[in-house]
A and B are shown apart, each in its own frame.
Chain A
Amino acid sequence: MVPAGQGAPARSVWDGVYTDAQAVRGEQVSAEQCARCHGQTLAGAEAAPALVGDTFNANWEGVPLGDLFERIRISMPLDSPGSLSRQQNVDVMAYMLKLGKIPAGTAELATDTAVLGQITFQSNRP
């Protein structure tokens, strides 16, 4: 089986990989599901790490978004992991990119892990 997206040119998060509308949806999901531990702007708190900023950037630098998506899908939210839909998870990821000051584009992030795997996370503009 050939994963969808295979052979597509390598892209980074700076290539306009999500939309503003998706980030707004993600913000709603985040407020309901993530903010309690990670803070409203996902800046982190005592018991939950920041999902934006230096530490987050260091941990995900150069990693495909597909890996980040799988991490969220498998382990979050902590008290009911796996309870969010793929669409909700990927919308949260769009919100995280927005908070990381990475510009939106015209296409939404897909819900397919393999497609997300073609997009690399980079914290600085290339």
Chain B
Amino acid sequence: MKRRHVVWSAVAALTVAVYASVGLFAQRARPTGTQHGEWPTYGGDLHSTRYSPLDQIDRNNFSKLEVAWRFKTDALGPRPEYNLQSTPLMVGGVLYSTGGTRRAVVALDAASGEMLWMHSLNEGKRGESAPRLLSGRGLSYWTDGREARIIYVTPGYQMVALDAKTGVRVPSFGKNGIVDLKEDFDQAPIDPVNGAVGLHAAPVIASDVVIIGAAFETGAIPKSKSNIKGYVRGFDVRTGKRIWVFHTIPRPGEAGHDTWGGDSASYTGNTGVWAQMSVDEELGLVYLPVELPTHDYYGGDRAGNNLFSESIVAVELKTGKRRWHYQLVHHGMWDMDIPCAPILVDITVNGRPVKALAQATKQAFLYVLDRETGEPVWPIEERPVPKGDAAGEWYSPTQPFPTKPAAYDGQGLAIDDLIDFTPELRAEAVKLVAPYRLGPLFTPPSVSRREGPIATLTMGAQAAATNWPGASYDPETHTLYVASQTSIATLGLVPPPPGVATVPYHQGTVLAGARTDGGSGSNASGPAAAAADALSANLTVQGLPIVKPPYSRITAINMDTGDFRWQVPFGATPPNIANHPALKGLNLPPMGRPGNNNGTLVTKTLLIAGEKNFGPTPSGQRGAMLRAFDKATGHELGAVYLPAPQTGSPMTYMLNGQQHLVVAIGGGAYTGELLVLKLPREAMPAPGR
């Protein structure tokens, strides 16, 4: 059996010193992925690989995993939570996680699950009216070898520093352990209670700097073209003092300001970083995946390309100064954002070593850039895209299209994408979409009209392909694994209900009305229920998804060549599809399970991901399966029963000679829970293997 690696901060410091002193070659050889069997940061490491070199759990024993312990989060807040999205951390035998409806922090004995401490901040109305409620996605750990801290952001946008040993707030940090993130934000004062800004991502900490983004209410139905700006800030991890701020919407005189028409840079908001970020400590750069500006589907109040929206921006870790940027979407109106951390990958392209980053997206492109310069690794071409019909809108004539890798999930929508199990189903689908506008990726939202188009229908927007769980990467084989879902967004624009908003459009359709609408729809002739019967926003054909399967998939991409190694449907086909009367007697392919994309974990031995929705499982029990795949082929190697679907992303750690696998689960009527698995002794690999 392998000896457990003892963690000494002195050893870690020495390691860094050695790498720093022997130059580029050693840097290239520096291992990424987790070390010492720990999981010290949200993405496993600051490169966001979600890779662990642990190998005790493997293809021969995965299905034998059993519950080591479980932790219910119900009582961490005033009521149970059903959507626990945390990736916990494990450092020094302690598991740290956010949880519960008030976003409490817990420290648990990683061997038994016993609670060591719990911290919770009752923010009252500030917390209840926050734009991003519930337990968030995680927290951060920091140590200088002497003291250790946990840093997290509350629903009400306060950054809290806790002593990792005791859970007590650190008095020397901010005001009694708290920094009010609504202050010192380089913009007009923000109401401390009702100012709608927050953050549900885990902060990232590197080189003693805490980097904090911002998240807002979802932007389909804004009241105004104006909103709080999502600047990014760096704070001193010891004092909580702000060190730098990066203006994601440039101020007058700053680079990129001229990409905003009129004075739109002054009033437009959002443009925050709500996703996780990645850091290259050797290059001293933090990579910011920036979302789109105010109004997810209408940009008529912000003519121009709108830098640095929907751009990856590399800023200096210590100063916040911009080194380079690359815009993925000009003048966005599809709510593409950039939803997850770019993964930092050291690859070899045509024999040349490249320090690159790989960005998974909702639009199913994986953008691959040189992370030192921001130059595309494979050409990204500006190509003409369709225009729309919204009054006052400004349409970018072109958008960037990566030439490699190929799109890994659906984009746009064409008749050929529609369900075709039988000619009858196809005909019904064609009829259903007839009053809508279809088109390629970047077809703009349509002003909704009863005579048509009702809306634009498109894949690769809003909530499609890859979202916040992101992707993962095997640094040994240079393979990136990305899970994605195939889903259609209904992008229609209608006038907001009278008196509700000062923007000309809200997302909605004439059949259903705008999303804020308190009545039966702006121009609808009857109740929405009746309209939905005739032409449903629920775009299904006899209850079947309107697009061809697979409905969700995992793609493995060779990052040295940009080619797919494999692509497989992910998850069991739901019974309401598999047993559908219209499909009786057909030889159906595996279809995957509809639902959001899944966070994946890569280890030395396996690719691991859990299903995102309930279904029947092989034992007949209702639940979901946590599945392990062959990294080289995508073939399933084993599966373990979960009583509820995966809601967070899996992580793994080694403790007392045993590899543990943790997944946050919940949903339906099942409350949020951390489920921790390990092998029974008899199933563990023989020593010295």
Which residues of A are in contact with B by a Cβ distance under 8 Å?
Answer: 23-24, 27, 31-32, 35-37, 39-41, 43-47, 50, 52-55, 57-63, 67-68, 70-71, 74-75, 78-82, 95, 98-101, 123-124
Answer yes or no: B575 CB below 8 A from chain A CBs. Answer: yes
Answer yes or no: B416 CB below 8 A from chain A CBs. Answer: no
Contact B532 A41, beta carbon cutoff 8 Å? yes
| Residue from B82, B516, B576, B595 within 8 A of A71 (CB atoms) | B82
Contact B536 A41, beta carbon cutoff 8 Å? yes
In the bound complex, what is the Cα–Cα distance between A32 and B513 (angstroms)? 13
CB distance from A106 to the nearest CB of B (A): 17
Closest Cβ neighbor of B519 among chain A residues? A31
Range, interface on chain B: 35 or more
In the bound complex, what is the Cα–Cα distance between A67 and B306 (angstroms)? 46
| Residue from B519, B527, B543, B613 within 8 A of A123 (CB atoms) | B543
Contact A24 B79, beta carbon cutoff 8 Å? no
Given A54-B551, A99-B532, CB of A124 within 8 Å of CB of B576: yes
Contact A36 B574, beta carbon cutoff 8 Å? no
Residues of A within 8 A of B101 (CB): 81
Residues of A within 8 A of B81 (CB): 75
Given A36-B515, A40-B517, A46-B462, CB of A62 within 8 Å of CB of B594: no
Contact A124 B543, beta carbon cutoff 8 Å? yes
Residues of B within 8 A of A27 (CB): 520, 527-529
In the bound complex, what is the Cα–Cα distance between A57 and B577 (angstroms)? 10
CB distance from A57 to the nearest CB of B (A): 5
In the bound complex, what is the Cα–Cα distance between A74 and B615 (angstroms)? 23
The 0/1 profile, CB within 8 Å of A marked 1, for residues 394-410 of chain B is 00000000000000000
Residues of B within 8 A of A45 (CB): 218, 220, 462-463, 515
Contact A61 B538, beta carbon cutoff 8 Å? no
Residues of B within 8 A of A52 (CB): 538
Contact A123 B576, beta carbon cutoff 8 Å? yes
Contact B576 A58, beta carbon cutoff 8 Å? yes
Which of A39, A40, A78, A95 has the most chain B CB atoms inside 10 A of its CB? Answer: A40
Contact B551 A61, beta carbon cutoff 8 Å? no
Answer yes or no: B138 CB below 8 A from chain A CBs. Answer: no
| Residue from B512, B540, B575, B614 within 8 A of A53 (CB atoms) | B540
Given A47-B218, A63-B668, CB of A124 within 8 Å of CB of B579: yes
Which of A37, A44, A46 has the most chain B CB atoms inside 10 A of its CB? Answer: A46
Given contacts A53-B538, A61-B575, 11 further A-B contacts (CB under 8 A): A40-B537, A45-B462, A47-B218, A55-B594, A58-B613, A61-B574, A63-B669, A67-B669, A75-B80, A78-B133, A99-B536
CB distance from A14 to the nearest CB of B (A): 12
Residues of B within 8 A of A37 (CB): 218
Q: Which 7 A-B pairs have the closest CB atoms?
A: A41-B537, A67-B669, A54-B594, A40-B512, A43-B537, A58-B613, A58-B574
Answer yes or no: B129 CB below 8 A from chain A CBs. Answer: yes
Contact A40 B576, beta carbon cutoff 8 Å? no
In the bound complex, what is the Cα–Cα distance between A41 and B454 (angstroms)? 14
Which residues of B are in contact with A by a Cβ distance under 8 Å?
Answer: 79-82, 101, 128-129, 133-134, 218, 220-221, 296, 335, 462-463, 490, 508, 511-521, 527-529, 532-533, 536-538, 540, 543, 545, 551, 574-577, 579-581, 593-595, 613-615, 622, 645, 667-669
Which of A31, A54, A63, A79 has the most chain B CB atoms inside 10 A of its CB? Answer: A54
CB distance from A18 to the nearest CB of B (A): 11
CB distance from A32 to the nearest CB of B (A): 6
Contact B516 A70, beta carbon cutoff 8 Å? no
Residues of A within 8 A of B518 (CB): 31-32
Contact A35 B515, beta carbon cutoff 8 Å? yes
In the bound complex, what is the Cα–Cα distance between A74 and B668 (angstroms)? 12
Residues of A within 8 A of B668 (CB): 59-60, 63, 67, 71
CB distance from A61 to the nearest CB of B (A): 6
Contact B595 A58, beta carbon cutoff 8 Å? yes
Contact B580 A124, beta carbon cutoff 8 Å? yes
Contact B79 A41, beta carbon cutoff 8 Å? no
Contact A70 B614, beta carbon cutoff 8 Å? no
Contact A81 B538, beta carbon cutoff 8 Å? no
Contact A54 B508, beta carbon cutoff 8 Å? no
CB distance from A51 to the nearest CB of B (A): 10
Closest Cβ neighbor of A76 among chain B residues? B82
Contact B614 A61, beta carbon cutoff 8 Å? yes
Contact B79 A82, beta carbon cutoff 8 Å? yes
Residues of A within 8 A of B577 (CB): 54
Given A46-B335, A55-B595, A58-B613, CB of A99 within 8 Å of CB of B574: no
In the bound complex, what is the Cα–Cα distance between A1 and B352 (angstroms)? 75
Contact A40 B593, beta carbon cutoff 8 Å? no
Complex A-B: 20 CB contacts under 8 Å:
A31-B528, A35-B515, A35-B516, A35-B517, A40-B515, A40-B537, A41-B532, A41-B536, A45-B218, A45-B462, A57-B543, A58-B594, A59-B668, A61-B576, A63-B669, A67-B669, A82-B79, A124-B579, A124-B580, A124-B581
Contact B508 A40, beta carbon cutoff 8 Å? yes
In the bound complex, what is the Cα–Cα distance between A14 and B581 (angstroms)? 16
Residues of A within 8 A of B335 (CB): 46
Residues of B within 8 A of A35 (CB): 515-517
In the bound complex, what is the Cα–Cα distance between A31 and B529 (angstroms)? 11
In the bound complex, what is the Cα–Cα distance between A81 and B80 (angstroms)? 11
Residues of A within 8 A of B575 (CB): 61
Contact A95 B529, beta carbon cutoff 8 Å? yes
Residues of B within 8 A of A75 (CB): 79-82
| Residue from A46, A79, A98 within 8 A of B529 (CB atoms) | A98
Contact B538 A36, beta carbon cutoff 8 Å? no
Contact B538 A100, beta carbon cutoff 8 Å? yes
Residues of B within 8 A of A74 (CB): 79-80
Contact B667 A59, beta carbon cutoff 8 Å? yes
In the bound complex, what is the Cα–Cα distance between A124 and B576 (angstroms)? 6
In the bound complex, what is the Cα–Cα distance between A36 and B129 (angstroms)? 14
Contact B512 A31, beta carbon cutoff 8 Å? no
Contact B533 A101, beta carbon cutoff 8 Å? yes
| Residue from A39, A43, A59, A81 within 8 A of B79 (CB atoms) | A81
In the bound complex, what is the Cα–Cα distance between A67 and B215 (angstroms)? 32
Contact A99 B615, beta carbon cutoff 8 Å? no
Residues of A within 8 A of B128 (CB): 79-80
Closest Cβ neighbor of A100 among chain B residues? B538
In the bound complex, what is the Cα–Cα distance between A36 and B519 (angstroms)? 12
Given A124-B576, A124-B580, CB of A43 within 8 Å of CB of B538: yes
In the bound complex, what is the Cα–Cα distance between A70 and B420 (angstroms)? 38
Given A57-B576, A75-B80, CB of A36 within 8 Å of CB of B221: yes
CB distance from B483 to the nearest CB of A (A): 15
Residues of B within 8 A of A99 (CB): 529, 532, 536, 538
In the bound complex, what is the Cα–Cα distance between A75 and B80 (angstroms)? 7
Closest Cβ neighbor of A122 among chain B residues? B576
| Residue from A41, A60, A78 within 8 A of B528 (CB atoms) | A41
Which of B81, B518, B528, B579 has the most chain A CB atoms inside 10 A of its CB? Answer: B528
Contact B218 A46, beta carbon cutoff 8 Å? yes
Closest Cβ neighbor of A51 among chain B residues? B538
Contact B543 A58, beta carbon cutoff 8 Å? no
Given A46-B462, A79-B128, A123-B543, CB of A24 within 8 Å of CB of B527: yes
